[in-house]
Amino acid sequence: MKETLIFDFDQVIVETDDVWLGYVNKKYNIHTSISDYDSSISLEKNVNRLAGINLSFEEFYYDFTENYTMSKKLHKNVVLLPDAGRVIKESSNKYNLFISTARNSLGIDVIKYILKRHQILNYFNGFHFVYSFDDRMEFIKSSKAEFISSFNGKASFFVDDSPSEIEKTKIIVPSILFDTTKTKIVEGSWSLFDWLEVADFIL
């Protein structure tokens, strides 16, 4: 019986920082770089701070969902991180693979589009979205930690680039902080630099 391996999506499997940053800069007429964003607060709070506006969570994410998260056009040139595709294919022999992402469920077609274009869609068993929508189009939140807990201790590893997420999951599952900068540390977890290191660790 296969074990379970769970990955974050953005900046773990695919490189998307330039894509969402380009959209936000154009939409709100600002000129920002990744270093301007405080990872300890949410994206809409960062945008409000940097653009000098006061959008609500709902106002920001309804627009972001429709015009970024659901846009295949904006994601058509998104690339996998180096060696991600090969390691995912190889790890599927040992694990059932899932993606758990802070994107919302209305963007599932875009995620599948990206994975299919890179010929790795069929290696994944399922997807979890932190934000989904009910029949009234209201946000429903289900954290990554809650999703991982649903495996009742049968998840083998979780890989994410967010220290705050790793802090929440490390008590539930062995957690790997994917850190290409080699600058982040979360006590009680592993920090790995690239997919070659991930392969050495999980395969």
For the stretch 89-113, pLDDT in tens is 999 999 999 999 999 999 999 999 9
CATH code for the domain in which residue 125 is found: 3.40.50.1000
Instruction: Kindly state whether residues 64 and 33 are assigned to the same domain.
Output: yes
Does any domain span residue 141? Answer: yes
Cα–Cα distances (Å) from 158 to 66, 77, 143, 180, in that order, read 29, 26, 13, 16
11 vs 134, residue with greater confidence: 11
Residue 139 pLDDT greater than 80, yes or no: no
Residue 100 within any structural domain of the chain: yes
Are 108 and 34 found together in one domain? no
Q: Cβ(70)–Cβ(107) under 8 Å?
A: yes
Both 96 and 186 in one domain: the answer is yes
* pTM of the predicted structure, to 2 decimals: 0.93
In a domain, 104, yes or no: yes
124/39 same-domain check: no
Residue 134's pLDDT is 75
Q: Which residues pair with 132 in a beta bridge?
A: 140
- Beta strands (DSSP E) in 61-113 are 79-80, 95-104
pLDDT (mean) for 16-35: 96
Residue 103 and residue 7 in one domain: yes
Residues 42 and 126 in one domain: no
The count of structural domains within the chain is 2
Pairwise CA distance, residues 143 & 149, whole Å? 10
Tell me the pLDDT tens digit for each residue of 156-198: 999 999 999 999 999 999 999 999 988 888 999 999 999 999 9
Domain boundaries, position 62: 17-69
64 & 160 share domain: no
87 and 60, same domain (yes or no)? no
Mean pLDDT of the chain: 94
Is position 133 within any domain? Answer: yes
Q: Is residue 74 part of a domain?
A: no
User: Is 105 part of any domain?
Assistant: yes
Is pLDDT above 90 for 132? no
Q: What is the number of alpha carbons within 13 Å of residue 70 lying toward its C-beta?
A: 10
Residue 58 has pLDDT above 90, yes or no: no
The answer to whether residues 86 and 183 belong to one domain is: yes
User: What is the structure's pLDDT at 136?
Assistant: 77
Judge contact between 33 and 21, C-beta under 8 A.
Answer: yes
148 and 57 in a single domain? The answer is no
